[in-house]
Structure 1
Amino acid sequence: MRVVIIPGMGCTPVHSSNWYSWLQTEIGNRPDRFSECVLCEFPDPHACKESVWIPFVENEIGLDDSTVVVGHSSGAACVMRLLERRPRSSPLRGAILVAAAHTDMGDADERRSEYFSRPWDWTKLKEGATQIHQFHGTEDYLIPVAEGRHVAEMLEGDNFEYDEMPGHTHFFRPFQQLLDVIDRRF
């Protein structure tokens, strides 16, 4: 199994942003379970346009049915669009959404990212991974908790779990619950 981390908008250099390197190190400490953890610079890191990021993930990084993708903020929107595109016969092993939104929240940068330009296909999205887990902080000042709750409501089902984290903001620091979910579910 492999893990792919998809960062948020503006998270460059990616290795010194948020919790990404911490997670890569922790996954690397589990060689009996994970073959690799991909953490790399993304093209167009300040706009993170869907038209750039989706082909990059699919063609340069590569995904298969043994992949767990972890997306943070705009990276979570990218993961959601990737899940919509997965063939029903070959879902990803898992997806973890950290601070996910379903609208551009009136933000021009989010609007330009292209992820929110059309309705979500929640049925396809749910079928795009064997297991989906979502985290959202109740004190997130960038993506209101109502956004996360709506995503959770739409993804509700047998393969989905939602953790609403009291007192957490936009998850800029490592949080043990993320690693616990990976250890428990994957």
Structure 2
Amino acid sequence: MRFIVVPGNGGCGVDTMSANWYGWFHDAITSRGHSCLVPNWPDPYCCKRSIWEPFILNDLALGPDDVVVGHSSGALLAMRLLEGERKIKGAVLVACAHTDLGDENEKASEYFDLPWQFDKMRNNADWVVQFHSSDDHLIPVAEGRFVASEIEKGSGNAEYCYRELEGEGHFFRPCEEIMKEIDKRTGGREEE
């Protein structure tokens, strides 16, 4: 299984391995026998959908054995991918939103140009796990709760889990709960 880390905006994709918890995640997931891409992303300050979606689909060759791990703006990309036609193994949504929160840079990212198709987000993956922290100072927990309630109502066969944590803020540091949920779905180690 291959994991692809999609960072948040603001330059996190310039040196993705050194930003936030992405390097830690890479080490944790590869120690379990999986492969993991933590690429530097084009357009890391705005994270435009018109640039990021072709990058993950074509340059990184997103496929059916991949898990997309999206944080903040990266979670928005993961959500748009779940609406599409390409099948993936799973998605981890960390600190996602459904509105641009009145932020011009978020609005410019193009993820909010079309209505969300929450009803489709359980069609193209085996499982989806979403995390939000009650004390997130950048994306209010109400945003995450709304996304969770809409995805839960959707059709499709993907197993869906929403985990609301406390004390994680905007998830700028490693979070063991993310690994625990992934381990539940992957058995902890890649099959030999």
- Name the TM tier (shorter chain): over 0.9
Bigger CA drift: 110-119 or 158-167?
Answer: 158-167
Partners of 1:65 and 1:182 in 2: CA distance:
17
Partners of 1:132 and 1:172 in 2: CA distance:
21
Please state how far the C-alpha of 1:103 moved relative to its aligned partner.
0.7
3-state SS of paired residue (1:156): helix
Please state how far the C-alpha of 1:59 moved relative to its aligned partner.
0.3
**TM-score, scaled relative to structure 1:** 0.94
Correspondence for 2:103:
107
- CA deviation map 1:104-150 (0-9, x unaligned): 01110000000011101112222121100000010001000000000
Correspondence for 1:180:
180
Correspondence for 1:65:
64
3-state SS of paired residue (1:126): coil
Correspondence for 2:189:
none
**TM-score, scaled relative to structure 2:** 0.91
AA aligned opposite 2:46: A
Correspondence for 2:18:
16
Correspondence for 1:118:
114
AA aligned opposite 1:39: V
Partners of 2:23 and 2:132 in 1: CA distance:
20
Structure 2 residue runs without a partner (length 5+): 187-192
Correspondence for 2:31:
29
Partners of 1:116 and 1:128 in 2: CA distance:
20
Correspondence for 2:129:
133
AA aligned opposite 2:65: S
Partners of 1:138 and 1:168 in 2: CA distance:
8
Structure 2 residue 79 is the aligned partner of structure 1 residue 83: no
3-state SS of paired residue (1:127): coil
- CA deviation map 1:13-42 (0-9, x unaligned): 2111100000001111112xx2x1000100
Please state how far the C-alpha of 1:167 moved relative to its aligned partner.
2.0
CA contact (8 A) 1:73 1:99 kept: yes
Correspondence for 2:93:
97
3-state SS of paired residue (2:161): strand
User: Where in structure 1 do 4 or more consecutive aligned residues deviate above 6 Å?
Assistant: none
AA aligned opposite 2:167: G
AA aligned opposite 2:82: L
Aligned-residue CA RMSD (Å): 1.1
AA aligned opposite 2:171: F
3-state SS of paired residue (2:121): helix
Partners of 1:136 and 1:112 in 2: CA distance:
23
